[in-house]
Amino acid sequence: MDLFCDHCGRPAEDGDHAACLAARTMEPPRYCPQCRRRLVVQVTPRSWSARCSVHGASGG
């Protein structure tokens, strides 16, 4: 279960994140959903990768 929104970094249960979900269709995550740390994000023409210093990497 995600504790934080991976787009805006606010708590997941805090308000409506419909705009965040819409933005995430075109953009990679910016915050770790587990600890709220800012992710190291790399975007290439075909994909993206994101890495949290504590929880590791994810890709899309």
Distance in angstroms (rounded) separating the CA atoms of residues 23 and 53:
24
Name the residue ranges covered by the structural domains of the chain: 1-59
Q: Which residues pair with 10 in a beta bridge?
A: none
Query: Is residue 59 over pLDDT 70?
Result: no
Task: Tell me the HSE value of 42 on the side-chain side, using a 13 A CA sphere.
Answer: 7
Instruction: Report pLDDT digits (tens) over 4-18.
Output: 999 999 999 988 999
Q: What pTM, to 2 d.p., does this model score? A: 0.84
